[in-house]
Amino acid sequence: MAGHQGERRRRPRRRATVASVLGELLLTAGVLALGYAGWQLWLSDAVLGAQQQAAGQSFAAELGPDAIAAPDTALRPAASAEPEPEMPAEAAVADRASFAVMYIPRLGQFERVVGEGTSRAVLDSLEQGLAHYSASAMPGQLGNFAVAGHRNGQGGPFTHLDEMRIGDRIYVKTAEAWYVYEFRNHEYVAPTGVGVVEPVPQQPQTPADGRYLTLTTCNPEWSSAGRLIAYATFVGWQPLEDGMPLALAESLGRA
């Protein structure tokens, strides 16, 4: 009896089947895919964004010292179609060359290098990350200074571009001057909506009589189905030797 009971307790060993092994492999692959997605969503942009930020700080130092402007330093306006005689004329630069650093306090500690041309070599670069539309104006010039950046991935400089608020200032530092723009509004367009980078955005037949800044990125996040556009208008400039605008220095914790 005892022997028979032992036999009844003994259960047959399960044998691995092709289906079970395949299922386990698929499950493992799914876990790895989710882990990679998590890396792309959080860690990758945080790590790469920090590298682009460090590159921005380094290039800003190359452009000129970041002494802080005196409290009574005022921006010099350029409201007319003609620039002031003292206002520098920013020269065009070679493809892929770095020429400016953009600061957007609304987006946090944001210092990113602007490179020439919208190739992946500029957009994906750890030394740049923001890409100037070559056919558009240079900073401070009459017309539209248009710049592209990734919404997500490769540092995601424009992940939170949708959070810009009216009146938010955007600062652009070059080897010649500081240029200051104020955010005005967002627009959502199709990927074919290239009118946003015209000299007067969305008005291809209108000659430019002002100075604008247009920022473009993908929309929605993690999709290239559309484009999110942020428009800003020029409010003034100051020579590089005047120092970093005080409001910007305060936002960066340097004043």
Q: Which of 4, 150, 160, 186 is an active site residue?
A: 150
- Is 218 an active-site residue? yes
| 107-131 burial: b if 16+ Cβ within 10 Å, else e | beebbbbbbbbbeeebbebbebbbb
The DSSP H or E segment spanning 232 is: strand 226-239
Q: 238: which residues sit within 8 A by CB, 6+ positions away?
A: 69, 73, 74, 75, 76, 177, 178, 180, 245
Quickly list DSSP for 45-93: HHHHHHHHHHHHHHHHHHH---PBPPTT--PBP--SSSPPTTS--PPP-
139 touches 100 (CB < 8 A): yes
Number of H helices, E strands in the chain: 5, 8
Establish whether 150 is a catalytic residue: yes
Q: Which of 132, 160, 186, 218 is catalytic?
A: 218
Separation of CA 188 from chain center: 17
Catalytic sites, residue numbers: 150, 218
